[in-house]
Every structure is written in C-alpha cells, then in structure tokens.
Amino acid sequence: MELHRWRLDEERKLEEARLAQEAALSIAEKERAKCRAAIEQAEKAQKIAELEAQRRINMEMRARREAEEMRKALGGMQMEDVRYRKYTIEEIEAATDCFSESRKIGEGGYGPVFKCYLDHTPVAIKVLRPEAAQGRSQFRQEVEVLSCIRHPNMVLLLGACPEYGCLVYEYMANGSLEDRLLRRGNSPALTWQHRFRIAAEIATGLLFLHQTKPEPIVHRDLKPGNVLLDHNFVSKISDVGLARLVPAVAENVTQYHMTSTAGTFCYIDPEYQQTGMLGVKSDLYSLGIVLLQLITAKPPMGITHLIEGSIEKGNFAEVLDPSVLDWPVEEALYLAKIGIQCAEMRRKDRPDLGKVVLPELLRLREFADQKSPTTSIWYCGSSGPSPVHSQVSQVK
C-alpha cells in the first residue's frame, strides 16, 4: 500500500515537472516570438526611416531643380520680353506688408492671393505654398504659357518673383465670374447684357489659346472661378497653370494623350477623363457648362439635364437666373442650346469653336450691345462695391 502511494506521488511529481517544463518552453517560445517580432518591427521601422530620409532627399533635390528651372524660365522671360518684370523678395514683402492677412483677397489650391500695389499700380499677387509640389509645376507652366501670349481676354501677367514662387497679375476689380453669379459680398446681379458679352469674351480668349502657334494651348480648367472681371466687367481667362501645349497629329486634328487627367469635377471633358486623350474640344465641354451657368447661376452638376428637361417641358424661362428680371427669353434659349451642344458627351458631337460657336456668341453680344442703355455699373474696390457711371461699349 505504501509502495503504491509512493508511486502515485512520484507520477504526480513527474507530471507536474513535465507540465512545468512545457509551460517554461511555451513561455520561452512566446518570448522568442516577441523578440523576433520586435526585431522585425525594428527592421521595418528602419526601412521606413531610410525610405523617408531618401524621399526627403529626393524632394529637396527636386525642389532645388525646380527652383533653378523657375529662375531660368524667369530669366529667359525677362530677357525675351521687356513687358515682364522680375520682382525681388524685398519688393514683394513690402507690397504685401509681409503677406499680411489684411491684404489677402483669396485662397486657392495653388496658394493665397494678395491685393497690393507695385509701381503705383494695383496688382494681384498669387503666392505658391512651399509644400505645394504640384504648384511649382503650375508656376513654371503659367510663366511658360503667359510669357508667350497677350490678349485682351487673358489676364495679364506683369511679372514674377521666383524666390517666393509669386506671380504678379493685373488686378481684376470685380473678382471672378463665380463671385458675381453667386452675388458674393451682396454684389448686384450681372445684367443679361453683361452675361452675353462675357460669353463671347470667354470664347474669344479660348479660341486665341487654341490658335497659338506652333502648337495649340488647351486650358484644361475653364470654370467661372477662373474667369475674372475687370472694373468694366470685361472678362479675362486666368489660371493657366494646368494648360498644355498640344501637338497636332493630323490636319485639323489636335489631341494628346495624358497619363493623368487634370481640371475641376463637372467641368472636365468626359472623353478626356475616360481616355486621357486631350484636345482643343476638351475646353469646349467646359465652355458649354460655363455658358449654362451664365444664364442660370446654378451649380454645374446636372445642369445640362436640367436645362434640356426645361426645354422639353416648355418651361425654360423658369430655370433662368431670377435675379435678372428682363431676360430676352428667345435669345437666352439660343445661348442655352449653344451651351448644350458644347457640352455633348462625345467630342465629335461638339461644334467647332471658331467656325460655329464664336460667330453665334458674337451675334448675341451684338444684340446685347444694341439693347444696352447708359447705366450705372458697380465694381468691387478695396473699400467695397461702389458705383461708376459708364457707357458699356463693345470690347474690341
């Protein structure tokens, strides 16, 4: 009996020892796993740190290259065209009061915009954000494009400051077409006469870009926010930072394949968005949406279907901007149909800008000029809106 108890006791001790050993081995294995995980995590963190360090080095090198390219571009611009000026850091800081918030008049994806005076002239200074890598590319693009174009319906580039990444433009007292259509700042509604003229002016500026030699320029981001109005409500296309020179691939056919699309949602050519193929008729789609917004002051999304539906139902007059009380409905309907044709989904279905669209818009502008009395118009100066008595005349 004693022997049996002794054996049971020994077996129990052996089992306990075995279990203790297994527990110890399990703990050791877990510790080894933790150690391996810690080592792997450390190696991973080291690789991430190395990649981040290399990325910073690459970004710094790219920034230096881009800064050098900007300086070269601006240096060449200054040598080739005396109408442009290279401003110093000190001049920009003095004009903007060191980029004072009180001078800021806007903010975009590129960076802030300041209103100030240079050479006793009101100007708008667009400043590139330091972290805006895409903005540096757009800066060079605007310098490249605007250094070779000059047109009454394109915003005038007066100069630039490469050290700060600043572009200096003529100041447009009445802000953007978007501001005026939405009546920001309690501004008066644009008359239908102004709207008809603006439609023709935008198309005129766009055709000028498309007819540049040796290669057409496609804006790629035409929208009401990129159409600015001067103190006489003359409209000018701005923000050509996304513009592209497009090579001609065949007679009367101009297109170019882009690896990535650019522009603003609702204004981008659907065909360009789907295929990456860019052409001058890509801008025509954007123009169509802008024309429809001119007469309705409505958001761009679904605007084509809205107006087509109103025409089919016979209540087109109801979608016109109600802030204008004396719409010539027949002419407004004609303008709407031009806009709808321009905004066709397929590029081949859109009319030719120079041969079809612009002549009709010029006819509507002539109609507006004939109906324009001498009137008080408003502009937004530094102290707010103020009236100016003016005879609105046709822009040459």
pLDDT digit string, tens, across residues 268-320 = 888 888 888 888 898 999 999 999 999 999 999 999 999 999 999 999 999 99
Specify the residue for token string 């001609």: 248
CATH 3.40.47.10 fits 177-390, yes or no: no
28-37, 75-84, 91-100: the lowest-pLDDT one: 75-84
C-alpha dist (Å) from residue 85 to 48, 49, 169: 44, 43, 11
Q: How confident is the model at residue 2 (pLDDT cuts 50, 70, 90)?
A: confident
Provide the percentage of residues in the chain whose pLDDT is more than 90: 42
Count of H-run helices and E-run strands, the chain: 10, 15
22-26, 87-91, 232-236: the lowest-pLDDT one: 22-26
Buried b (16+ CB within 10 A) or exposed e, 139-150: bbbbbbbbbebe
Average pLDDT on 127-149 reads 67
**CB neighbour class for 395 (10 Å; exposed up to 12, middle 13-18, buried from 19):** middle
114-123, 146-155, 209-218, 235-244: the lowest-pLDDT one: 235-244
Q: Percentages helix, strand, coil for the chain, rounded to the nearest 5?
A: 50, 15, 30
Please write the tens of the pLDDT for every residue from 345-370: 999 999 999 999 999 999 999 999 99
In the chain, the N- to C-terminal Cα span, in Å, equals: 125
Average pLDDT, the chain: 80
Q: Would you say residue 92 has pLDDT above 50?
A: yes
Q: Would you say residue 172 has pLDDT above 90?
A: yes
Return all residues near 353 (Cβ < 8 A) that are at least 6 apart: 203, 206, 207, 210, 280, 281, 283, 284, 287
Catalytic residue set: 221
C-alpha dist (Å) from residue 311 to 6, 285, 316: 105, 20, 5
154 φ, ψ to 5°?
-120, 135
In this predicted structure, what is the pLDDT of residue 242?
A: 54
In this predicted structure, what is the pLDDT of residue 234?
A: 96
Specify the residue for token string 């089992």: 15
In this predicted structure, what is the pLDDT of residue 57?
A: 80
In this predicted structure, what is the pLDDT of residue 134?
A: 55
Higher pLDDT, 357 or 48: 357
Pick the CATH number of 79-170 from 3.30.200.20, 3.40.50.1820, 3.20.20.70, 2.40.240.10: 3.30.200.20
Nearest partner of 253 among 216, 220, 228, judged by Cα? 216
Provide the percentage of residues in the chain whose pLDDT is more than 70: 77
Q: Would you say residue 77 has pLDDT above 90?
A: no
Handedness of CA 97, 378, 185, 331 (dihedral sign): negative
d(CA 329, CA 317): 6
d(CA 281, CA 246): 12
d(CA 228, CA 13): 92
Higher pLDDT, 164 or 269: 269
In this predicted structure, what is the pLDDT of residue 364?
A: 97
In this predicted structure, what is the pLDDT of residue 80?
A: 47
In this predicted structure, what is the pLDDT of residue 390?
A: 30
In this predicted structure, what is the pLDDT of residue 383?
A: 41
Nearest partner of 219 among 262, 175, 250, judged by Cα? 262
Token pair in block for residue 351: 């009319």
Higher pLDDT, 179 or 67: 179
* Residue 260 neighbours by CB distance under 10 Å: 5
Please write the tens of the pLDDT for every residue from 174-231: 999 999 999 998 999 999 999 999 999 999 999 999 998 878 888 888 999 999 999 9
CA angle in degrees (0–180, nearest 5) for 344-223-354: 55
**Domain residue limits, the chain:** 79-170, 177-390
Please report the beta strands in the chain, taking only residues with DSSP state E, as ranges in sequence order: 85-86, 104-107, 112-118, 121-127, 157-161, 166-170, 217-218, 227-229, 235-237, 244-245, 248-250, 253-257, 277-279, 375-381, 384-390
Judged by phi (left if over 0) then psi (alpha if -120 to 50, else beta), residue 253 lies in: beta
Q: Would you say residue 375 has pLDDT above 60?
A: no
Spatial contact of 334 and 351, defined as CB atoms under 8 Å apart:
no
In this predicted structure, what is the pLDDT of residue 263?
A: 57
Q: How confident is the model at residue 393 (pLDDT cuts 50, 70, 90)?
A: very low
